[in-house]
Amino acid sequence: MTSALQVLFLTVLSFLFVHELDAIRKREWRFFFARVPVSDEGAYWIFTALHAPLFVAILWYVGSPALQVGIDAFAILHGFVHLGLRNHPKVAFDSRFSRFWIFGGALLGAVHLVFVL
Query: What integer best gives the mean pLDDT of the chain?
Result: 95
Confidence band for 11, pLDDT divided at 50, 70 and 90: very high
pTM: 0.93
Helices (H), 1-117: 2-25, 29-32, 40-60, 65-84, 96-116
Whether 24 has a pLDDT exceeding 60, the answer reads yes
What confidence score (pLDDT) does residue 1 get?
52
Q: Look at residue 2 and tell me whether its pLDDT is greater than 80.
A: no
Q: What is the mean pLDDT of residues 29-43?
A: 92
Domain boundaries, the chain: 2-116
